[in-house]
Structure 1
Amino acid sequence: DRSKAQFYRSLSSCVTVDRCVWLQIIGQDVFGSFLKSEFSEENIEFWLACEDYKKTESDLLHCKAEKIYKAFVHSDAAKQINIDFRTRESTAKKIKAPTPTCFDEAQKVIYTLMEKDSYPRFLKSSVYLNLLNELQANSLK
């Protein structure tokens, strides 16, 4: 399949992580599956929820902010993200008067965690290596 081969070519040339580009290149499902295998899928889920939240109409911000906070940021959240206490407290204050940017600080922490920790491991993972092998096999055809 031509689009799949293009996807793999793009994947193999991905060296640096750019916020929007790397998610598009490797695909949310592939990276998400890798994170799930590492029991850290909450990171990509939170990041994507924040991206969606930024597009929310102002009259729905409060409801959506509460939902994201309870799901990912609250200290008792089922999918609690790994952020420091100060960022957690700062985010809790910001959602009391929510704006489209109230999760930006926490989102940046999680993005950096994925960029510096999860993504380099992904590049060494069997998932990624299998994709590269498939790319090589497709390029020989």
Structure 2
Amino acid sequence: RQLDLQSALCTPLVLTQLEGYCARTHTAENLEFLLKADGVKRLPPQSMELRQALQDVARVYIAAGGDKEVNLSAATKAKTRLLVEQHDPCSFDQAAKEIYKLTLTDIWPRFLLSPEFLAIAHRKELRV
């Protein structure tokens, strides 16, 4: 079986190479957003840490003109902003689904052919 994106996100060796590839191809904001969105859901509900993380991620990745704004539909952006205002730990779920799909269909296939991946493809710990 071939390594899939979900497994790669949980495999430090592959994740490091994928991060390098994304940085080189100017697509790092997508991967960073996926990782941040997942991290937010792990924070204690109703905590100040959660509220701050929601605001920070929304400002950087969701807000128009954000430093690392990801490409989302207008409907998803609006829904995400509303959920962030409500301090919902799952605020970024729909946005993450959109970015995951983009990553899976656009970035992932090119990564599998990249020097970053080919440098580690022979490693037996990557056999799934």
Q: Structure 1 length normalisation: TM-score?
A: 0.77
- Aligned AA (1:104): D
Distance 2:57 2:4 in 1: 29
**Which residue of 2, 5, 10 corresponds with 1:24?**
10
Distance 2:119 2:42 in 1: 35
Report the counterpart of residue 64 of structure 1 in structure 2.
Answer: 53
Instruction: Structure 1 unaligned segments of length 5 or more: list them.
Output: 1-12, 137-141
How many residues were matched structurally? Answer: 120
Deviating 4+ runs (over 4 angstroms): none
Instruction: Structure 2 unaligned segments of length 5 or more: list them.
Output: 124-128
Q: Does 123-132 or 99-108 show the bigger shift?
A: 123-132
Q: Structure 2 length normalisation: TM-score?
A: 0.84
Q: For 1:1-141, what aligned pairs fall within 5 Å after superposition? A: 14-17=2-5, 19=6, 21-25=7-11, 27-57=14-44, 58-60=46-48, 61-132=50-121, 135=122
* The structure with more helix, counted as a fraction of residues: 1
- Does structure 1 conserve the Cα–Cα contact (< 8 Å) formed by 2:8 and 2:15? no
Distance 1:33 1:123 in 2: 13
Question: Percent identity over the alignment?
Answer: 22
The alignment yields a C-alpha RMSD, in angstroms, of 1.7
Which of the pair has the greater relative contact order for Cα pairs under 8 Å at 6+ separation? 2
- Does structure 2 conserve the Cα–Cα contact (< 8 Å) formed by 1:62 and 1:97? no
